[in-house]
Amino acid sequence: MAHTNYNCNPGCPVEAALEVIGGKWKGVILYHLLSETMRFNELRRVMPEVTQRMLTKQLRELEADNLIARKVYPEVPPKVEYSMTEYGKTLTPVIHSLQQWGSRHLEEVAQRVADR
Amino acid sequence: MAHTNYNCNPGCPVEAALEVIGGKWKGVILYHLLSETMRFNELRRVMPEVTQRMLTKQLRELEADNLIARKVYPEVPPKVEYSMTEYGKTLTPVIHSLQQWGSRHLEEVAQRVADR
DNA sequence: TCCATTGGTATATAAAAAGATACTTTGTAT
DNA sequence: ATACAAAGTATCTTTTTATATACCAATGGA
Is the CB of residue A17 less than 8 Å away from at least one CB of chain B?
yes
Q: Which pLDDT score, from 0 to 100, does residue A66 have?
A: 96
On whether the CB atoms of residues A96 and B7 are closer than 8 A, the answer is no
Q: Which pLDDT score, from 0 to 100, does residue A7 have?
A: 43
Q: Mean of the pLDDT values across residues A106-112?
A: 91
pLDDT per residue as tens digits for the range B31-51: 999 999 999 999 999 988 899
> How many Å is the maximal CA-CA distance in chain B?
56
pTM of the entire predicted model: 0.89
pLDDT value at B88 more than 70:
yes
Distances (CA, A) of A55 to B6, B67, B104: 18, 30, 27
On whether the CB atoms of residues B27 and B13 are closer than 8 A, the answer is no
On whether the CB atoms of residues B47 and B30 are closer than 8 A, the answer is no
Q: Which pLDDT score, from 0 to 100, does residue A10 have?
A: 57
Candidates A55, A105, A111, partner chain B, best to mutate (most B CBs within 10 A): A105
Strand C: positions under 7 A of a protein C-beta atom? 5-11, 16-22, 25-27
Query: Cis peptide leading into B13, omega within 30 of 0?
Result: no
CA A75 to C1' D14, whole Å: 37
On whether the CB atoms of residues A21 and B18 are closer than 8 A, the answer is yes
CA closest to C1' of C7 belongs to B78
pLDDT per residue as tens digits for the range A30-67: 999 999 999 999 999 999 999 999 999 999 999 999 99
